[in-house]
Amino acid sequence: MAGIPPIEGIVESVLYVEDLPRAVEFYETVLGLEVMTGDAARFQSFKVCAGQVLLLFKRGATLEPTPVPGGIIPPHDGAGPHHLGFAVTREAYDQWREHLSSRGVAIESETHWPRGGSSLYLRDPDGHLLELITPGIWPNY
């Protein structure tokens, strides 16, 4: 549509969790995400890949405006199980299945898509649905 500036991508994705240390351990040790900045009481950020950040917030800990250098972060929060999909290569797909099994993480479902992609579905400790996705499920992935 003419006149609308382009969006270049999604930089941050957020999940709200009940037990922040438990969630941090899961995302660091099970999914292998790199810990960046955070604090033990309110949030933790993870490097997913170049230019993409996953934020975990302690549920209820961001209901007040948060002053930061240069501005204020408005209040936000969330409830219920959410869904995130992580890109994985076709070559790593079976390795992920084996890795999750070795960590005692149940695969809730597996889907093979008409475009040729595959998905493994699992839950994090807060019940969020996580998907490990190979290329071939969307026209643009």
**Domain spans of the chain, in order of start:** 7-79, 80-141
Confidence check: pLDDT of 5 > 80: no
What is residue 6's predicted lDDT score, i.e. its pLDDT?
A: 83
Asked whether the domain spanning 80-141 has the same topology as the one spanning 7-79, the reply is no
What is residue 80's predicted lDDT score, i.e. its pLDDT?
A: 93
Convert the pLDDT of each residue in 7-56 to its tens digit. Answer: 889 999 999 999 999 999 999 999 999 999 999 889 999 999 999 999 99
What is residue 1's predicted lDDT score, i.e. its pLDDT?
A: 56
What is residue 119's predicted lDDT score, i.e. its pLDDT?
A: 98
Tell me which residue has tokens 């960046």: 36
Of 42, 64, 37, 30, nearest to 53 by C-alpha is: 37
80-141: CATH topology is 2,3-Dihydroxybiphenyl 1,2-Dioxygenase; domain 1 (3.10.180)
7-79: CATH topology is 3.30.720
Percent of the chain with pLDDT over 90: 92
Q: Is beta strand 52-58 parallel, antiparallel or unpaired with respect to 43-49?
A: antiparallel
What is residue 48's predicted lDDT score, i.e. its pLDDT?
A: 97
Tell me which residue has tokens 């240390």: 21
Confidence check: pLDDT of 104 > 60: yes
